[in-house]
């Protein structure tokens, strides 16, 4: 059975990726970085989601010798010129904290009128083969940032993000509903045929 590595240790992200990728690629054995001896993962130093996803996927291929998928994703807020962007997970500094990130974001756009609180969740998924072949796809979900969080599900900025055309935040959706709508779900569904074509 062909094998594929998901290049992440993030447990919540892993669950989400495995839920989406598993049914799309049933003939693959999907491994994670936890299945291998630990190695120094690359610093996410690129200025784009695609660049950081490629860094992580390339490192996983170099370490495991297997094809790898890596995701880099975050929140782009119009009123903050696209930030926190690639800094989304560490927006409030170390240690990483969803609560502190959300609090800082709300503070930064506190005076922004509701009609100017547009944002988008963005996910870039890189697929890298040991041969050096690389492909990147992007998923995007537009929405708005609320003035207070709603919902207990999801992670990151999910409680603050209301997708366009939906009356529930990402944190109020069921896992299945979120997978169908999310930026990561869209990117993974776009990359799955590319993976299936070569593995």
Q: What is the pLDDT of residues 58-108, one digit of tens each?
A: 999 999 999 999 999 999 999 999 999 999 999 999 999 999 999 999 999
CA end-to-end span of the chain:
9
Express each pLDDT in 130-188 by its tens digit.
999 999 999 999 999 999 999 999 899 999 999 999 999 999 999 999 999 999 999 99
Domain boundaries, the chain: 3-198
Asked if 114 is an active-site residue, the reply is no
132 vs 40, residue with greater confidence? 132
Annotated binding site for Mg(2+), which residues?
A: 72
pLDDT of 5 reads 93
* In CATH, 3-198 is 3.60.21.10: no
pLDDT of 127 reads 97
pLDDT of 7 reads 92
Of the listed 35, 40, 71, 72, which one is catalytic? 72
Annotated binding site, which residues?
A: 8-13, 72-73, 155-158, 178, 183-184
pLDDT of 98 reads 95
């Amino acid at each position: 059975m062909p094998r594929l590595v998901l290049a992440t240790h993030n447990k919540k992200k892993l669950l989400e990726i495995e839920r989406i990728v598993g049914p799309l690629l049933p003939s693959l054995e999907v491994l994670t970085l936890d299945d291998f001896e630990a190695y120094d993962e690359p610093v996410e130093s690129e200025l784009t989601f695609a660049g950081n996803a490629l860094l992580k996927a390339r490192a996983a291929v170099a370490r495991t010798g297997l094809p790898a998928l890596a995701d880099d994703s975050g929140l782009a807020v119009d009123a903050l010129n696209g930030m926190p962007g690639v800094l989304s997970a560490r927006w409030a500094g170390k240690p990483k904290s969803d609560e502190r990130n959300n609090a800082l974001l709300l503070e930064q756009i506190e005076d922004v009128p509701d009609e100017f609180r547009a944002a988008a969740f963005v996910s870039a998924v890189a697929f890298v083969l040991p041969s050096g072949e690389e492909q990147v796809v992007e998923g995007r979900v537009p929405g708005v940032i609320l003035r207070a969080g709603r919902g207990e599900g999801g992670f990151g900025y999910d409680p603050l993000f209301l997708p366009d055309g939906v009356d529930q935040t990402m944190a109020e959706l069921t896992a299945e509903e979120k997978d169908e709508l999310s930026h990561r779900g869209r990117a993974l569904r776009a990359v799955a045929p590319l993976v299936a074509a070569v593995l």
